[in-house]
Amino acid sequence: MADTQASPANAIRIRNLYKIFGPRAAQCVDLVKQGMSKAELNATHGHVLGLKDINIDMPGGGIFVIMGLSGSGKSTLIRHINRLIDPTAGEVIVGGEDVVKMNPHDLREFRRHKTAMVFQKFALLPHRNVLDNTVYGLEVRGLPRARQEQTAMRWIERVGLSGFEKSFPNQLSGGMQQRVGLARALANDAPILLMDEAFSALDPLIRMDMQSVLLDLQKEIRKTVVFITHDLDEALRLGDRIAILRDGEVIQQGTAQDIVLKPADDYIASFVKEVNRGRVIQVEAVMRPAADGAHRSALPVPAGTTLDDAARALALAGRDELAVTDASGRPVGILAMADLVTAMVPPGDARKGGAGPAG
Amino acid sequence: MRGGPEVAAPHSVILPHGNFRTGLAVRCDKTRGGRVMDWLTRFPHMNDDTLLLLKKTIDEGFRTFTRAYGDSIEAFFEPLQYFLIQSERFMTGTPWPIILLIVAVISWLASRSWRIVASAVVTLLLIGFFDMWEDTMKTISMIFVCTVLSIVLGLPIGIVMARSDRLQHLVNPILDVMQTMPSFVYLIPVVMLLGIGKVPGLIAVVVYAIPPMIRLTNLGIRQVDRDVLEAADAFGSSGWQKLKNVQMPLALPTIMAGINQTIMMALAMVVIASMIGVQGLGQPVLKAIANQYFTLGVFNGLAIVGIAIIFDRVSQAYGKRLQKHLEVVHG
């Protein structure tokens, strides 16, 4: 379920990536590798540890979310994928090629054809109208103007901006401006889409709206999307896989369900506590093994259904037990209404707040 | 105190200076009653003979340089001379109604404001009515050539400067010198090299007027939003594509302010340039100073003010129109 259509050509592998900010960064890498902490490095050498030993596999064709609070290094990390920031050490392998080792010409070609980026502050060209902004990537590539416009118009329409082609960015609302940013990135038709807090500057309703736009689009375009956010709900909603970053280190990687059900430490657990678990956890994660198809009264529900949807189905059908079925319709487990409801309540609440489910 | 008369003669200009210093020293001697504190009241300066020798050597060196290369330098500036003459011929040779029409059309295209067009036309009509048309045309021609030259030289310098902090640290003090050095001082070597005429005048004016062009180009490019530049990078723009698509368009309003300043400073130099043979509104002013013709001075001075206001309003209105879509509106 999580790794949709893994296509290795567009997969991104990050290996032993370090980023240290400061004039003598290269010398400090070894200190960090020997175990010096971020605070220690800053105090003794005046260098800032941006990223520490990042190892991430992003399968091709899926949405990979990197979540972290401000200062966690998430925006630094995404800028390593198209090398807007040079790493201090490590490899970023995209489709078998190490981005870190590319010369300026190859890097430019890589950015033109392999990646497209959407920015938190939109970063549109203020002197160009919507159409001329959308063609930017194609213009840089040197495509004929007619083709640029044809492609751009298709994406402008797809993101719902028809009729605004001649408007300038400062005449549009934030949500509309980010639609232009999205259209500009999609028009490039690059296999990798980098989204740096793309929806963070939008208000909640428009953000939900844009998330839906992205999920809808992703069903047809199947790009490798790297999505940065500080919002766990957004991460859980969008991400096929999620990595959580803190102080420049990855502290947990996995599917949304992994993170909600098995938070790696108290830090993540305290985040996860506030999450609507019913929307994230799927029935097969909390079911009991089926006892030889004995349960005739159970409502069949396909694996992969979220607890929310399952509960709704049960309530509508007026039953109190469901049978989880696999792709061929064979029951693989059963789940009673009572267990379902228990799973939807965060375990931390039962113990009266506290530090959450430690261990 | 001084060198021998045969040495001092060619440098008679510095003599009053020397006398003044001596006078001061004498007075101090009286009040302090002794030579003990002499080094406090009189700055312990370089040996007079050495100083004189230094000045003489530099002057002599420059004179030799002038004799050796004067002709080739003049030949180098030949195209400028041609440009100047052609421009002046056009401005003075074209019938005045056509010039008026051209000014009106340019004002309209730049400002899209009837008020500015009308005031430009009325100002020119008044200037013509008071019989200053010919001189005004010569001045406008001169300002035009100066501005074009300042843009052609200043824009690339400003762009290069914006790309390198080291170059900025190097160029900024030079620009400071160009702007604060009294213009008479750099008129001397220019006149020594090229004699009296249009080209030396043009060079003097450009030296004075080009710094704002360079400074504001540099500033404008440095102020371009980093986020937008990063986006251009992320889409794989080359250096030239970034300059052409992002930096120049976003810096344009600031660069327009630089052009505006350059024009204003060039106009301020009109009278000084007329001292070395530049024709136009400066010459009657010069004549008025020499002969105490009050009205002549005021009329020509007002004509300079008039065209300054036209240039200023038109170029500012154009700069403002460029800015229309550039402010980032959040919301």
The verdict on residue A182 lying in a domain is no
For residue A178, what pLDDT band results from cuts at 50, 70 and 90?
A: very high
Identify the pLDDT of residue B232: 95
Highest mean pLDDT of the ranges A40-44, A100-104, B3-7, B180-184: A100-104
Chain A residues within an 8 Å CB radius of B225: 123
Burial class (CB in 10 A: 0-12, 13-18, 19+), A355: exposed
Shortest Cα distance from B159 to chain A (angstroms)?
Answer: 20
Identify the pLDDT of residue B220: 95
Check whether residue A36 and residue A97 sit in a common domain.
Answer: yes
The mean pLDDT value of chain A amounts to: 87
Q: Where are the alpha helices (DSSP H) in A288-346?
A: 307-317, 337-344
For residue A2, what pLDDT band results from cuts at 50, 70 and 90?
A: very low
For residue B60, what pLDDT band results from cuts at 50, 70 and 90?
A: very high
Burial B44-80 (b: 16+ CB within 10 A, else e): eeeeeeeebeeeeeeeeeeeeeeeeeeeeebeebeeb
Check whether residue A21 and residue A70 sit in a common domain.
Answer: yes
Identify the pLDDT of residue A270: 86
Please say if the pLDDT value at position A33 is more than 80.
yes
For residue B299, what pLDDT band results from cuts at 50, 70 and 90?
A: very high
Q: Tell me the mean pLDDT in the region B1-5.
A: 41
Please say if the pLDDT value at position B17 is more than 80.
no
Identify the pLDDT of residue B115: 94
The verdict on residue A43 lying in a domain is yes
The verdict on residue A133 lying in a domain is no
Contact A336, A321 (CB under 8 A): yes
Shortest Cα distance from A69 to chain B (angstroms)?
Answer: 20
- What is the C-alpha to C-alpha distance for residues A302 and A282, in angstroms, rounded to an integer? 10
Structure tokens at B180: 């604060």
Alpha carbon distance, N-terminus to C-terminus of chain B: 76
Q: Which domain holds residue A102?
A: 8-114+190-272
Beta bridge partners of A241: A64
Cβ <8 Å between A126 and B250: yes
Please say if the pLDDT value at position B244 is more than 80.
yes
Question: What is the domain-level CATH number for residue A343?
Answer: 3.10.580.10
For residue A140, what pLDDT band results from cuts at 50, 70 and 90?
A: very high
Chain A residues within an 8 Å CB radius of B238: 108, 140
Cβ <8 Å between A84 and B235: no
Contact B57, B11 (CB under 8 A): no
Q: How many helices (H) and strands (E) does chain B have?
A: 17, 0
Task: Name the residue facing A123 among B227, B236, B241 (closest C-beta).
Answer: B227
The verdict on residue A125 lying in a domain is no
Contact A305, A280 (CB under 8 A): no
From the list A333, A283, A284, the residue with the least C-alpha distance to A312 is: A283
ipTM: 0.83
Number of structural domains chain A divides into:
2
Q: Which residue among A272, A302, A323 closes a domain?
A: A272
Task: Name the residue facing A188 among B233, B235, B246 (closest C-beta).
Answer: B235
- Give the least confident one: B108-117, B119-128, B281-290, B315-324: B315-324
The H or E element spanning position A49 is: strand A48-58
Neighbours of B238 (CB within 10 A): 14
A169 touches chain B (CB under 8 A): yes
For residue B246, give the DSSP letter: I
- What is the C-alpha to C-alpha distance for residues A290 and A331, in angstroms, rounded to an integer? 7
What is this structure's pTM?
0.81
Check whether residue A232 and residue A334 sit in a common domain.
Answer: no
The verdict on residue A344 lying in a domain is yes
The mean pLDDT value of chain B amounts to: 86
Q: Output the DSSP codes for A53-114.
A: EEEEEE-TTSEEEEE--TTSSHHHHHHHHTTSS--SEEEEEETTEEGGG--HHHHHHHHHHT
From the list B14, B23, B16, B78, the residue with the least C-alpha distance to B49 is: B14
Beta bridge partners of A325: A302, A331
For residue A285, what pLDDT band results from cuts at 50, 70 and 90?
A: confident
Residue B217 neighbours by CB under 8 Å, 6+ apart? B154, B155, B157, B158, B159, B161, B162, B251, B254, B255, B258
From the list A348, A341, A293, the residue with the least C-alpha distance to A315 is: A341
- pLDDT tens by residue, B223-238: 999 999 999 999 999 9
Shortest Cα distance from B237 to chain A (angstroms)?
Answer: 6
Q: Is A239 helix (H, G, I), strand (E, B) or coil?
A: coil
Percent of chain A with pLDDT over 70: 93
For residue B36, what pLDDT band results from cuts at 50, 70 and 90?
A: low
- What is the C-alpha to C-alpha distance for residues A269 and A272, in angstroms, rounded to an integer? 5
A106 touches chain B (CB under 8 A): no
Going by their DSSP bridges, the two strands A192-196 and A115-118 should be labelled as parallel
Cβ <8 Å between A127 and B326: yes
Check whether residue A23 and residue A101 sit in a common domain.
Answer: yes
- pLDDT tens by residue, B108-124: 999 999 999 999 999 99
Q: Which residue among A224, A253, A272 closes a domain?
A: A272
Check whether residue A255 and residue A331 sit in a common domain.
Answer: no
For residue B243, what pLDDT band results from cuts at 50, 70 and 90?
A: very high
Chain A residues within an 8 Å CB radius of B234: 82, 84, 111, 115-117, 119, 194
For residue A171, give the DSSP letter: G
Angle, in degrees to the nearest 10, between helices B198-222 and B183-194:
130
B326 touches chain A (CB under 8 A): yes
- What is the C-alpha to C-alpha distance for residues B246 and B229, in angstroms, rounded to an integer? 7
Contact B267, A147 (CB under 8 A): no
Identify the pLDDT of residue A109: 94
Shortest Cα distance from B233 to chain A (angstroms)?
Answer: 7
A194 touches chain B (CB under 8 A): yes
Shortest Cα distance from B222 to chain A (angstroms)?
Answer: 16
Check whether residue A203 and residue A338 sit in a common domain.
Answer: no
Check whether residue A281 and residue A258 sit in a common domain.
Answer: no
The verdict on residue A237 lying in a domain is yes
Cβ <8 Å between A140 and B237: yes
B230 touches chain A (CB under 8 A): yes
Q: Tell me the mean pLDDT in the region A150-164.
A: 93
Identify the pLDDT of residue B21: 47
- What is the C-alpha to C-alpha distance for residues B305 and A13, in angstroms, rounded to an integer? 68
Check whether residue A105 and residue A206 sit in a common domain.
Answer: yes
For residue A8, what pLDDT band results from cuts at 50, 70 and 90?
A: low
Question: What is the domain-level CATH number for residue A78?
Answer: 3.40.50.300
Q: Which long-range contacts (CB under 8 A, 24 or more apart) does B265-268 make?
A: B265/B208, B265/B209, B265/B212, B266/B142, B266/B143, B266/B146, B266/B147, B266/B150, B266/B205, B266/B206, B266/B208, B266/B209, B267/B139, B267/B143, B267/B304, B267/B307, B267/B308, B267/B311, B268/B208
Shortest Cα distance from B252 to chain A (angstroms)?
Answer: 10
Check whether residue A229 and residue A105 sit in a common domain.
Answer: yes
- pLDDT tens by residue, A230-240: 998 899 999 99
The verdict on residue A155 lying in a domain is no
Percent of chain B with pLDDT over 90: 63
Task: Name the residue facing B329 among A108, A125, A170 (closest C-beta).
Answer: A170
Q: Which residue among A210, A237, A272 closes a domain?
A: A272
Chain A from 218 to 247: CB within 8 A of any B CB: none
For residue A30, what pLDDT band results from cuts at 50, 70 and 90?
A: confident
Residue B69 neighbours by CB under 8 Å, 6+ apart? none
Check whether residue A347 and residue A219 sit in a common domain.
Answer: no
Task: Name the residue facing A137 among B235, B246, B328 (closest C-beta).
Answer: B235
Q: Is A32 helix (H, G, I), strand (E, B) or coil?
A: helix
Please say if the pLDDT value at position A294 is more than 60.
no
Q: Tell me the mean pLDDT in the region A64-87.
A: 92
The verdict on residue A248 lying in a domain is yes
- Give the least confident one: A43-52, A167-176, A316-325, B94-103: A316-325
One-letter amino acid identity for A232?
A: L
Check whether residue A207 and residue A243 sit in a common domain.
Answer: yes
Check whether residue A236 and residue A268 sit in a common domain.
Answer: yes
